[in-house]
Structure 1
Amino acid sequence: MAATAMNRESWFPSLALGVSLLKALFINSYHSTDFEVHRNWLAITHSLPVSRWYHENTSEWTLDYPPLFAWFEFGLSHVARHFDSKMLAVDNLNYASPATVLFQRLSVIFTDMLFIYAARECCRCVRDRKGTRDIFNRPSFVLAVLLLWNFGLLIVDHIHFQYNGFLFGFLLLSVAKHLRSQHLQGALLFSILLNLKHIYLYVAPAYGVFLLRSFCFTQDNLDGSIKWTSFSPFRLLALGSIVAAVCSLSFGPFIAMGQLPQVLSRLFPFKRGLCHAYWAPNVWALYNVLDKSLTTVGVRLKFLNETTLPQASMTGGLVQEFQHSVLPSVTPSVTVICTLLSILPALASIWWRPRGADGFLRCLLVCALASFTFGWHVHEKAILIAILPLSLLAVESREDAGIFLLLSTTGHYSLFPLLFTPAELPIKCALMLMFTIFSFAALRKLHSGRVSLLHTLEVVYLSGLVVVAVACEFVFPLSPWQQKLPFLPLLATSVYAALGVCYSFLRLYVTLLRQDSGKSKQL
């Protein structure tokens, strides 16, 4: 045990330091509107009283994260004033002085320390092979690289600009606690995470069912059925107290001020439309393009009158509000129903056939992908909620490794349009290639097989992804279509990537449902 720990300590700090230095190289790179979003939130929380935080609308980028994240911004703002106090003026819109850029970039790198710690704890949850001296045959090493050097996090947080690494630190640390059966600590961490960013409600059902079944019911019959007499109300009370305490600390002040409806209206803005301005690669991207195709055919065959069609359906770009012309328009309630129906079998599976941490992690992934696939106004960056936790299964199981390679390659490529400036083109291509090549080589070697981890059709699909990438990134910008159809690369990327994401979701679902509770492997 001591030797294993020493060996791990010898390479983990080097990986963490190396990726931190790499992040520092991106300080002066392109940043998106999210940079201004977070600068504005720094200004709001620093310059205004708490009572005005969720009412302030000088900028279009209003505060729309849960209260704990607002307090996180409040804490950062007290450091920010030592860099450049002008960034903390609410009316100083789009302010990006060199000192402001330096502070915000460093704040992401610094708060990533939590993610690094969480990755280290996750690496300690996987079993290394005894007697091997080849570092690439150690699941803990491969997992560390897959997490710390994740392509999506690098470009989304440190170029595009967000704080996902900080948030994923809570998620992965929570998962690690559950893998070690430290359920109360895991529940506390996840409760904090929900009050930092509510998008993690996607995976809350997996947490709820798993904790109720495997923590509150302390004994199982041999056949895995529920033994109702083993229910522990004290454990349920402990869990409920943790959730209530965190939510009270987060929302309590706003409830006391009578502002809970206002806060919730910011957190759940259903008026934004079915799809984000850049379609996430999910089932609604396929649905939208099918509607556009049927509309085009209908107009040409004179089955439809173009002048009577909803305006958005015939525009040349991708818009947030999208009214379907041929297929039924989708409402928020429809997406909620589709999401719930898609996760119910997974939740029922870990309830009736509990499989410990392995079953929980698979259910979490299914919930994440189901919400991504069927959710309302899904952002493309949400695919990372599935890719990162799947890394833990990929180093343990050959079949899961194949699913990871397909989902990570497809999901990461779907993030390419986030970086659209020419200067970042070689950066994103180089980072994507390095991460993908390592993933394929390391996982194949780790699982000791000369046979590909992917099926033939999956290899063909990924080969097509290369063709799409070359066409969108290199050929299309030089073609005359760039002026006439500027949205085409976005459309092609979303639709083609959606096929891979939906397929990965189905394949992962199969692995969850077909497992036998008595033979399932525990992490």
Structure 2
Amino acid sequence: MTSSFSLGQVLDLKPIAREIRPKAPQSTQEQYHPTLWQCTVVAATLKILLLPAYKSTDFEVHRNWLAITHSLPPWEWYYERTSEWTLDYPPYFAAFEWLLSQLAALIDSDMVDTNNLNYSSWPTIAFQRASVIVSELLLFAALYFFVASTPFGARKQSHAVALSILLSPGFLIIDHIHFQYNSMMYGILIFSIALARTDSGLLSSGILFAVLLCFKHIYLYLAPAYFVYLLRAYCLSRNNVFRPHILNCIKLGVSVLAVFGAAFGPFAYWGQLDQLMSRLFPFSRGLCHAYWAPNMWAIYSFVDRLLILVAPYLKLSIDPGALHSVTRGLVGDTSFAVLPNISPKLCFSLTLAFHIQALTTLWLKPTWETFVGALTLCGYASFLFGWHVHEKAVLLIIIPFSLIALKDRSYLASFRPLAVAGYISLFPLLFTAQEYPIKTAYTIGWLILFLYVFDRLAPAPSRQRVFLLDRFALLYNAISVPLIIYCSLVHQVLFRDKYEFLPLMFTSTYCAVGVITSWIGFMVCYLSS
């Protein structure tokens, strides 16, 4: 390509790195970066030891996707339904599975047979686990770049943040035991966010985010913040919004259209866009996931359960058909016995309202820190008020928030309950006795280490600080200990196989309180900064 804005030139990071990398003594730079390497090696060693660990149905989901993409031509990928775990990720992730399947077929050809449902030979387990470990190198590269792009005076804080993300209990639980590829995709997100620090990196940032959307569409929750920031900081003059940069608009528009055209163009040509969209957006699912995500609807569901108990005394009407709806652990089966039912339209309206609040501030103050704050608030709003939210989506809040958690102690005070609630809310994903010590010890160790380090590194805020959230966090963290003990040990001793949903309800409700409190605290920081 000879165009002045070819993709090769757009993604050339050398001029960007020269602009954002501050001059510092070589010995100082070497002080931080090798630690990322060392922690990556140690973490990878631990994850190799976890190859035989528990694996969820997601393991079979991705094995089946290997088989689909290897055995069938692309125009049949989104129609194949031999397994109940049909392909429901965007085309770039399907292409990623296709690349993996070429190697998988050489290791164990039965692994890529669509008729071998629930196939899990040892070579299959080792290959799929190893593919997650290797793909996580993209996260390491992104964090390395994030540290390198940080102004020298804040390098120590960014290094601590990078280590906290690299060693996140969320990635260990979700990717390396439960089984997914989130760390790789959050690597793309962090690369994109880091590139957005400078004017010369904005175009590359937008392109990488478009690529990310073609890998996993859950990142659409963050798209409004990207749209507003790129429009305000790249397409329009920062000092005069009525002076558009025409060439920048063309560059960004053509580049993003090229990314989406490469992903979805072939399926449009085959007349399959409706089928593809029906796989990506199955709106028939209910309000709550089988295990309630710790959001507003978990609190709403919990209150509904309590009202059932007092309804006879308060003379409240009860819907008999909904008495067990939200506690049966079934997808697409959410209705409330006392409280009014929630519609998708209401979820969308609430999410949009809180998005607009964050985006208005970003429009008025288009700085990098405000952009990351808007990403975090978009993650909060979508997680707290969205329709059929998965508990794993809490990483959409934790990861962007981590990047600015050390801005000052007010931000850190909001981050603490989020970290505790977000990671504890993932515990029910691993319900076997063998993995209980691993998830508990690793998460508690992470929380003690990094919240202590963060506390030492976070500067005092420039404005007057309210300490109420600190006191809440102390009490909230203390309650987590008996909660974990009850849900993991005491409940089984007292009730055995009865009331199986009770520990899940307690965990989800407790964690929802932490996430909501964190959200309120962060909104105060964001809107007053």
TM normalised by structure 1 equals 0.92
CA distance in structure 2 between the partners assigned to 1:151 and 1:287 by the alignment: 28
Give unmatched runs, 5+ long, in structure 1: 131-136, 221-226, 516-523
CA distance in 2, matches of 1:511, 1:303: 40
Output the amino acid matched with 1:257.
W
Q: Which amino acid aligns with 1:460?
A: L
Give 1:59's aligned residue. 83
8 Å CA contact 2:289–2:388 kept in 1: the answer is yes
CA distance in 1, matches of 2:281, 2:438: 35
Deviation larger for 383-392 or 59-68: 383-392
Change (3 A) 1:45 1:274: same
Distance 1:437 1:43 in 2: 42
Q: How does 1:219-298 map to 2 (within 5 A)?
A: 219-220=238-239, 227-298=240-311
Structure 1 distance, partners of 2:227, 2:498, is 49
Equivalent residues of 1:128, 1:139 under 8 A apart: no
Rounded Cα–Cα distance in structure 2 between residues aligned with 1:150 and 1:453: 27
Task: Please say if residues 178 and 357 of structure 1, whose CA atoms lie closer than 8 Å, have aligned partners that are also in contact.
Answer: yes
Deviation of residue 53 (structure 1)? 0.6
Aligned to 1:488: 502
SS of equivalent residue, structure 1 residue 270: coil
Q: Which amino acid aligns with 1:165?
A: S
CA RMSD of aligned residues (A): 1.9
Q: What residue in structure 1 maps to residue 423 of structure 2?
A: 412
After superposition, the Cα gap between the structure-2 partners of 1:245 and 1:205, relative to the gap in structure 1 and judged at 3 Å, is: same
Equivalent residue for 1:224?
Answer: none
CA gap of 1:462–1:218, structure 2 versus 1, over 3 A, is same
Contact conserved, 1:279 with 1:494, CA < 8 A, in 2? Answer: yes
Contact 1:414 1:494 in 2 (8 A): yes
Question: 2:191: which partner in 1?
Answer: 173
- Is 1:126 the counterpart of 2:126? The answer is no
Q: What's the counterpart of residue 13 of structure 1?
A: 37
Q: Which residue of 1 aligns with 2:11?
A: none
| Residues 324 and 239 (structure 1), Cα distance of their counterparts in 2 relative to 1, 3 Å cut | same
Shift of 1:12: 2.2
The answer to whether the 8 Å contact 2:33/2:144 transfers is no
- State the secondary structure of the residue aligned to 1:57: coil
Give the CA deviation at 1:314. 5.6
Distance in 1 (CA, whole Å) between partners of 2:52 and 2:312 is: 48
Task: Give the aligned residue type for 1:324.
Answer: F
* Separation (CA, whole Å) in 2 of partners of 1:239 and 1:318: 44
Q: What is the CA-CA distance between 1:24 and the residue it aligns to?
A: 1.0
- Measured against aligned partners, the alpha-carbon deviations of 1:310-346 in whole angstroms (never above 9, x if no partner) come to 2464675333211122222112121111100111111
Is the Cα contact below 8 Å between 2:143 and 2:187 reproduced in 1? yes
Query: Which residue does the alignment assign to 2:436?
Result: 425
Displacement after TM superposition at 1:364 (Å)? 0.3
- 1:127, 1:139 within 8 Å by CA — same for their partners in 2? no
Give the whole-Å Cα distance in 1 for the aligned partners of 2:67 and 2:164.
35
- Contact 1:150–1:435 at 8 Å: present in 2 too? yes
> In 2 relative to 1, CA 92–300 (structure 1 residues): closer, same or farther, beyond 3 Å?
farther
Of 173, 192, 203 in structure 2, the residue corresponding to residue 184 of structure 1 is 203
2:292 and 2:505 in contact (8 A); partners too: yes
User: 8 Å contact 2:232–2:241 — kept in the other structure?
Assistant: no
Kindly state the Cα deviation for residue 196 of structure 1 after the two structures are TM-superposed: 0.3
Q: State the shift of 1:238 in Å.
A: 1.4
The one-character-per-residue Cα deviations of 1:62-81 (angstroms, maximum 9, x if unpaired) are 10001111111011100111
Q: Residue type of the partner of 2:27?
A: A
Deviation at 1:22, TM superposition (A): 1.5
1:388 and 2:399 matched: yes
Q: What residue in structure 1 maps to residue 337 of structure 2?
A: 325
SS in 2 for 1:373: helix
| Aligned position for 1:223 | none
| 1:202 and 2:200 aligned | no
Q: Which moved more, 1:311-320 or 1:181-190?
A: 311-320
Q: Which is further off, 374-383 or 12-21?
A: 12-21
1:474 to 477, 484, 489: 489
Contact 2:354/2:381, CA 8 A, preserved across alignment: yes
Instruction: State the shift of 1:229 in Å.
Output: 3.8
What code does the residue aligned with 2:275 have? Answer: Q
**Within 2, Cα distance between the matches of 1:512 and 1:111?**
34
276-285 or 308-317: which moved more? 308-317
C-alpha contact 1:59 1:93 (8 A) present in aligned 2: yes
Aligned counterparts of 1:421 and 1:150: Cα–Cα separation in 2: 21
My pick for the range that moved more, 293-302 or 27-36, is 293-302
Determine the structure 2 residue equivalent to 1:139: 157
| Aligned partners of 1:394 and 1:400 also within 8 Å | yes
d(CA) in 2 for partners of 1:265, 1:192: 20
In structure 1, the partner of 2:140 is 116
User: How far off its partner does 1:371 sit?
Assistant: 0.3
Q: Which amino acid aligns with 2:430?
A: L
Q: Is the contact between residue 126 and residue 139 of structure 1 (CA under 8 Å) also seen in structure 2?
A: no
Aligned to 1:158: 176
**2-structure distance, mates of 1:232, 1:478:** 67
Q: What is the deviation of 1:125?
A: 3.2
How many Å apart are 1:4 and its aligned residue?
A: 2.3
Partners of 2:314 and 2:349 in 1: how far apart? 35
Alpha-carbon contact 1:398-1:453 (below 8 Å) kept: no
Q: Which residue of 2 aligns with 1:26?
A: 50
Deviation string, structure 1 residues 357-393 (Cα, Å, up to 9, x no partner): 0100000000011100001110001101111121211
The CA deviation string for residues 259-293 of structure 1, in whole angstroms up to 9 with x for no partner, is 00000000000111111101100001111121222
- Deviation by residue 1:284-311 (Cα, 9 ceiling, x = unmatched): 1111121222233225666446xx5224
Alignment-derived partner of residue 498 in structure 1: 512
Call closer, same or farther: CA 1:157–1:316 in 2, change over 3 Å: closer
Amino acid aligned to 1:467:
P
1:426-451 deviation line (CA, Å, top 9, x unaligned):
101110111001112111221378x9
Q: Is 1:342 matched with 2:354? A: yes
Q: Write out per-residue CA displacement over residues 123-143 of structure 1, whole angstroms, 9 at most, x where no aligned residue.
A: 22334559xxxxxx9213312
Which residue of the partner structure matches residue 369 of structure 2? Answer: 358
- The question of whether the paired residues in 2 share the 8 Å contact of 1:399 and 1:453 is answered with no
Q: Go from structure 1 to structure 2 and tell me whether the alpha carbon gap of 1:212 and 1:315 turns closer, same or farther (over 3 Å shift).
A: closer
